[in-house]
Amino acid sequence: MSVSFKHLTTYKIKKMLLKETLLIVLFICFFAMSSSSQNLTGTWEGGGQSQKHRLVVIQKGDTLIGYIYEKSIGYCTADFKGMFYPSQKRVTGEGVRFINKSLLHSLSVYSWRYSVMDSKEFLIGTLQVKGLLGGAKVAMQMSRISESVDTTAYMAKFLNQLPENAIVTQPMALPKDTVTNQIKTISPSVINDSTAIKKSKERITNTAKQISVDRGVVKFTLYDNGTYDGDTVSVIHNAQLIIFKKEVSLSPVQFSIQVNREQPVHEIIMVAENEGSIPPNTALLIIETNGKRYQLNLNASLRTNEKVVITLKE
């Protein structure tokens, strides 16, 4: 059987077109997979116009949850929620609510472009005061310094898929992670040093929470509630120093007390020995007793202490 030259040429052209089409489809699929696989989870730092910024986020799908810190004249730390659009390499976000702040600070909205230069990742864009129509946009740029993160109560809710209005000071289960496996136990024996007690008496003591518990052992776990910045604290239990100048970090310290009829009231006071590189001195205190867990965010400074009161249920 003979095949004409015309038919052979048409066959070759169709084969070439099919091959090129397959290559294009494969390229599009590869690009889409590469875009969707990009994950921004980590710690980002940078600045703009005399401001310092730090963003800590966890990415789940295209949603970003975390916190953002800003420092210029004063400081503020706010819960952050945003979206990542991989195909456009675009990130949008906003400060949801303040964790802590000084005067003259407002929540902001953010718009960034994700880019990679010399193997380094950047978020480049602007911020604008939230709710201020026509407000000036401030240029800012951050680079990823780490793929590791620490967590806040807001992030823990997101990871546990709890409603945003959940009360975090009620018993709740926190996600299991390496932090809880690195606990260093510190005996609550009395330390003979009056420095911290003297400091605590010279400062205003705010009561963060009063919790009534059943009789038994109450365990306290304390670690940094923000990016590690060298926060150092002392802890006073019923007017006696039990932890002196300990640095709180992602490897927390732990101590326990016994609540009973003979000792029905316990005052735990956190005293800031410094304010780290990001004031104020922040700590996350997890309290566990009789199968219940409480989570408190503590903020202390060189002028204020934070106190938790544990009482025996009647």
What local confidence, expressed as pLDDT, does residue 200 receive? Answer: 84
Q: Would 24 be classed as within a structural domain?
A: no
- Which range (7-21, 219-233, 236-250, 277-291) has the least confidence? 7-21
Model pTM?
0.46
Q: At residue 230, what is the residue type?
A: G
Name the pLDDT band for 134 (thresholds 50, 70, 90): low
Q: Would 98 be classed as within a structural domain?
A: yes
Q: Does residue 309 have a pLDDT over 90?
A: yes
Range of 75-79, 178-182, 243-247 with top mean pLDDT: 75-79
- Are 157 and 278 part of one and the same domain? yes
- Are 132 and 244 part of one and the same domain? no
Q: Which residue has the higher pLDDT, 214 or 170?
A: 214
Range of 4-13, 32-41, 247-256 with top mean pLDDT: 247-256
Determine the 3-state secondary structure of 127 from DSSP: strand
Q: Would 301 be classed as within a structural domain?
A: yes
Considering just the CA atoms, what is the radius of gyration of the chain in Å?
Answer: 27
How many domains does the chain divide into? Answer: 2
- Which range (53-67, 142-156, 273-287) has the least confidence? 273-287
- Are 306 and 285 part of one and the same domain? yes
Q: Would 200 be classed as within a structural domain?
A: yes
Let me know: does 289 contact 273? Beta carbons within 8 Å: no
What local confidence, expressed as pLDDT, does residue 225 receive? Answer: 60
Let me know: does 172 contact 296? Beta carbons within 8 Å: no
Give the closest residue to 61 by CA, choosing from 79, 78, 43, 81.
Answer: 81
- Are 111 and 141 part of one and the same domain? yes
CATH code where residue 69 lies? 2.40.128.120
CA distance 207 to 281: 16
Range of 35-39, 155-159, 207-211, 224-228 with top mean pLDDT: 207-211
Name the pLDDT band for 94 (thresholds 50, 70, 90): very high
- Are 108 and 197 part of one and the same domain? no
- Are 295 and 230 part of one and the same domain? yes
- What is the helix (H) or strand (E) element at residue 27, kind and residue range? helix 5-37
Range of 23-27, 229-233, 238-242 with top mean pLDDT: 238-242
Question: What is the extent of the structural domain holding 126?
Answer: 42-146
Domain boundary among 146, 180, 206: 146
Q: Does residue 115 have a pLDDT over 60?
A: yes
